[in-house]
Chain A
Amino acid sequence: MRPWLILPVLAALLAEPSLPAHAAGAVLVMNSRDASLSVIDLASSHEVRRIPVLREPHHWALTPDGRDLLVGDSAGNEMFVLDPATFEVRRTIPVSDPYQFGFSPDGKFLVVNALHRAQVDVYEPGTYRLLKRFPLSYMPSHFAFAPDGATVYVSLQGSGRLAAIDLRAMDVLWTTEVGLTPAGVLWLNGRVLVANMGSADVAVVNPADGRVERLVHAGKGAHQLFLSPDRKRVYVNIRLEVDSVIALDATTLAVVRRYKVPGGVDDTAFAPDGKLWLTLRITNKVAVLDPDSGQSEFIDVGRSPHGIFINPRAVLPVSVAAR
C-alpha cells in the first residue's frame, strides 16, 4: 500500500460507523444527583446510555415546533438542547437556575421557575431573551398554563401560595394561600388543581380570583399531578403514603384506585401502551406501572431520577439499543 493511502484508510477504520437505526422509541431520565441523563430503550426497558451534563438536571420541555428538547441543568445554570429523536446534545444556553419550565400553549413564552433563586423568568422562545423577571417568594416549583396561554399558575413551595401571572400584560394577577408546601399544579376543566405536599390535600382553585373552592383528600405529601392521555384520570403522586400513586376520576375527583409504588415517586410519563413511567427519587429507579394490573417493573437508572420524557419515535442506533 502506498504510504499516503494509510491515513485515509486509518481514518475510515476509526470513524464512527454509520449504524442502522432502531426506531422502537426511547425514554430520557434526568438523574438530578448524578449530573447525567439515562437513555432507556423503550422496547427492552434497559438503560442503554448515559449522557453527561454539568450539575443537576431536573426537568424538560419540548419546543413548540417539536425540533428541540430542552433539559434544564439548574445548578449548572444551563439549558441543554437535545435532538428529541436521538438525544444528541446540540448546544447549550446559559439560563439562570432552570429548575422547572415550559412553553405556553400558544408558543409565545418560555416560563422558567428558578426554585432556589425565588424568581419566575419569562423568555422569548427561539432567542431565549429574558422578557421579564418576577421575584416571587419563595421556591417557585411547579406550574400550569391556562389553555389559551394567557396565564401561568405557579406554586410557591416555600410560602404556601399559588401565583397567577398574566403573560400578556406581564403582571402578577394575584397570589393566594392554597395550603402547606404546594407543589404540582394542573389545569383541569376550568379549574387549577394544586397538590399540597405539606398536607394530604389537592386544592381546587378558581383561576379567576384564586379562591380555594374545595379540598380533595389524596394522601400525606401529595406532590405531583398528571392527567392521563385519555383525560379520564388524574394521577396524584404521593410522598408519604404506602399507596404512593392515587388515581382520581378527572370529572368528580373521587379516588378510583390506589397503587403501591415504593421508592419516592416524583414525575410521570405516559407510554403509548398505556403504562405509567415513574421516577423514584429515593431508590434511584424508574417504575413502569401497568394501571390495569397494578403491577410495576423497575429499571435501574442514575441517582435521584426526576424528570422523564418518552419519545415513542426516538431512533437509537441498533448497536446501542441492543446493549
Chain B
Amino acid sequence: MAPFDLAAGWLQQHAVLPLLYALGMMQWEDISFGWVLFSLYGAAQVAVSYAVCLPLEHWRPVERWPDTRAVGVDVLYTLIARIGLLPLVTFVLFYQAQVTLDGWLADQGWVPPMLERLVPFLLGRPVLTFCIYVVILDFSEYWRHRLSHIFGWWYSLHALHHAQRQMTFWSDDRNHVLDEVLSFLWFMAVALLIGIPPMQFPLLVLLVRLLESMSHANARINFGWLGERLLISPRFHRAHHATTAAGRRSVNYGSVLPWWDMLFGTADFSPEYAATGDPGAEEALATGSYGAQQWAGLRRLLRGLRPAPTKGQRPLEPSG
C-alpha cells in the first residue's frame, strides 16, 4: 500500500489541497485523501485487468470480431465507474452512512455491528477479516444478482449488461446507472450490517470488480475440475451470459466464488463456450452509444412498470 499512499499524498498535497483551498472547500481535505487514494487503486485495477486479460483474450479468444466498436462503450463504462465515480461514491457515501448508522445505534445504547466485536480474535488481523468480508459480500452479491434476474422490472435494467454480444473484460461495468445504484445500495447495506471499515469497503469493491472483469474476458479459459469449483472462471461466467441463459432462468449468478451456485442448484459446469447476448434486448442496448443505452434501459424499465398487458398484447418480460 505504501506506493499508493505516497502517490496519493503527493497528489493531495500538490493538486487536491490547492484546488480545495481555491474553491473554499478545505473542510473536505481529510476525506478527499480517501477519494484520491481509491481513484489510484481504481486506475491500478484497470491497468491490472488490462495487463492480465488482454493477453489472455489474444492468446485464446472465444470469438473474433471484425468490428469492435461496441467494446469501446464498455471501456468508457469502466473508466467512469472505477476511476471516478466508484471511489467517490463508495468512500464518501459509505463513510457518511456508516457514521450516521453506527452513531445512531451507539446513541440508543446498542453496540454497532462489527465482525471483530463478534469474533474478538479478528481484532488486529485485518487480512483475515478482509477475506471473511469478501466471502460474506460475495454471498450477498449472489442473491442480489439472482433477484435482478427474477424481478422483471429489475431485469429490464440489468438487460443492458446482458445485451453485449461482444463480451470482453471491459464488459463488467456496462450497467444501467439505476442498476448500479441498486447494486451499490444492496452492497452498502450488507457492508453496514457486518461493519466493514470505511477504508476497506472501496478495496473490497475493487477486488470483487477486478475478479469480475477477468470472469468476463473473451478467453477460452477454465480452471480445471477443482479450480472451477473454487473460483469463477471466464468459462463459468460465460454460461451466465449465454443467449440461452438471459432472463429469469439463468445460471451461474456468482461473482467471485462458485459455491453459492453449487449450494442453491444454479451451477452449470458444462464445458461449452456459448455465444453471449440477450436476444430479447433491443439493438440500442447492445450497440448504442452510452447515452442511447441508458435511455433504452430507462424506456424498458418504464414499459416494464406499466400495468399487465391486455389480451393480444405481447408482454414485456425477460427473455430466455
* Residues of chain A whose beta carbon lies under 8 Å from any beta carbon of chain B: 33, 35-36, 50, 52, 54-56, 74-77, 94-97, 114, 116-117, 139, 157-158, 180-181, 197-198, 220-221, 239-240, 263-264, 281-284, 303-304
Contact A181–B106 (Cβ < 8 Å): no
A117 to B98, CA, bound (A): 11
CB distance from B14 to the nearest CB of A (A): 10
Q: Which residues of A contact B30 (CB under 8 A)?
A: 281
Does A239 lie within 8 Å of B98, measured CB to CB? no
- Is B288 an interface residue, CB under 8 A from the partner? no
Q: Which of A35, A75, A263 contacts B99 (CB 8 A)?
A: A75
Task: Identify which of B20-28, B160-168, B169-177, B250-258 touches chain A.
Answer: B20-28
Listed stretches B111-119, B145-153, B210-218; interface member: B111-119
When the two chains form their complex, are residues B103 and A114 in contact, meaning their CB atoms are under 8 A apart? yes
B95: A residues at CB distance < 8 A: 75, 116
- Evaluate contact between A264 and B27: CB separation under 8 angstroms: no
Q: With a CB–CB cut-off of 8 A, which chain B residues contact A117?
A: 99-100, 103
Instruction: Using A54-B116, A283-B6 as known contacts, say yes or no to A96 and B26 having CB atoms under 8 A apart.
Output: no
Nearest Cβ in chain A — how far from B108, in angstroms?
Answer: 10
Question: Whole-angstrom distance between the alpha carbons of A8 and B106 in the complex?
Answer: 43
A95 and B102 CA atoms in complex are apart in Å by 10
Q: Take A54-B114, A157-B27, A198-B26 as given contacts and tell me if A75 and B102 are in contact as well, using a CB distance cutoff of 8 Å.
A: yes
User: Which residues in A have their C-beta under 8 angstroms from that of B78?
Assistant: none
Contact A77 B112 (CB under 8 A): yes
Beta-carbon nearest neighbor of B124 in chain A: A52
With a 10 A CB-CB cut-off, give which of A52, A55, A56, A284 has the most chain B CB atoms.
A55
Q: Nearest Cβ in chain A — how far from B29, in angstroms?
A: 7
Q: Known interface pairs A52-B124, A75-B197. Does A240 touch B21 (Cβ–Cβ under 8 Å)?
A: yes
* Chain B interface size, under 10 / 10 to 19 / 20 to 34 / 35 or more: 35 or more
Indicate the member of A75, A95, A197, A239 with the most B CB atoms within 10 Å: A75
CB-CB under 8 A from B98, the residues of chain A are 75
CA distance in complex: A240, B107 (Å): 37
A75-B198 in contact given A94-B106, A221-B17 (Cβ < 8 Å):
yes
Taking A77-B106, A282-B12 as known contacts, 14 extra A-B pairs with beta carbons closer than 8 A to each other, sorted by chain A number, are A35-B126, A75-B95, A75-B98, A94-B106, A94-B109, A95-B106, A97-B106, A117-B99, A139-B27, A181-B26, A197-B26, A198-B26, A263-B9, A284-B5
B33 proximal to A (CB < 8 A): yes
Q: Is B99 within 8 A of A116, CB to CB?
A: yes
B199 lies within 8 A of A264 (CB)? no
Closest B residue to A303 by CB, please name it: B5
A77 to B29, CA, bound (A): 22
Contact between A239 and B17 (Cβ–Cβ < 8 Å)? yes
A54 to B197, CA, bound (A): 8
The contact of A94 among B99, B104, B111, B126, by CB within 8 Å, is B111
**Once bound together, how far apart are the Cα atoms of A50 and B13, in whole Å?**
27
Task: Please measure, in the bound complex, the distance between the C-alpha atom of A94 and the C-alpha atom of B112, giving whole angstroms.
Answer: 9
CB of B250, distance to nearest CB on chain A (Å): 38
Complex Cα distance, B270 from A283, in Å, reads: 51
Q: Determine whether the beta carbon of A239 is less than 8 Å from that of B100.
A: no
Q: How far apart sit A77 and B33, CA to CA, in the bound complex (Å)?
A: 22
Note all chain A residues with C-beta closer than 8 A to B100: 116-117
Chain B residues within 8 Å of A52, by CB? 123-124
Fill in one digit per residue for B79-109: 1 if any A CB lies within 8 Å of its CB, else 0: 0000000000000000110111011111101
Residue B18, interface by CB 8 Å: yes
- Chain A residues whose CB sits within 8 angstroms of the CB of B13 once the complex forms: 264, 282
Report the bound CA distance from A33 to B95 in whole Å: 13
Interchain CB contact (< 8 A) of A198 among B2, B24, B109: B24
Q: If the complex has contacts A35-B126, A54-B116, A198-B24, are A97 and B5 also in contact, measured as CB distance less than 8 A?
A: no
Give chain A residues whose Cβ lies under 8 Å from the Cβ of B5.
284, 303
- Chain A's closest residue to B23 (CB) is A198
* Cα separation A76 to B104 with both chains bound (whole Å): 12
Q: Which 3 A-B pairs have the closest CB atoms?
A: A52-B124, A282-B9, A116-B99
Q: Is the CB of A97 within 8 A of B26?
A: no
Taken together as a complex, chains A and B put the C-alpha atoms of A94 and B27 apart, in Å, by 26
Cross-chain contact of A240 among B17, B99, B103 (Cβ < 8 A): B17
Instruction: Name B99's closest neighbour in chain A (CB-CB).
Output: A116
A233 to B98, CA, bound (A): 40
Closest A residue to B198 by CB, please name it. A75
Contacts known (A180-B24, A283-B6); A239 close to B114, Cβ less than 8 A: no
Given A180-B24, A198-B24, A221-B26, verify A77-B6 contact (CB < 8 Å).
no
Chain B residues in 8 Å Cβ range of A240: 17-18, 21
Task: Tell me which residues across on chain A come within 8 A of B25, comparing CB atoms.
Answer: 198
Interface string of B236-272 (1 = CB under 8 A from A): 0000000000000000000000000000000000000
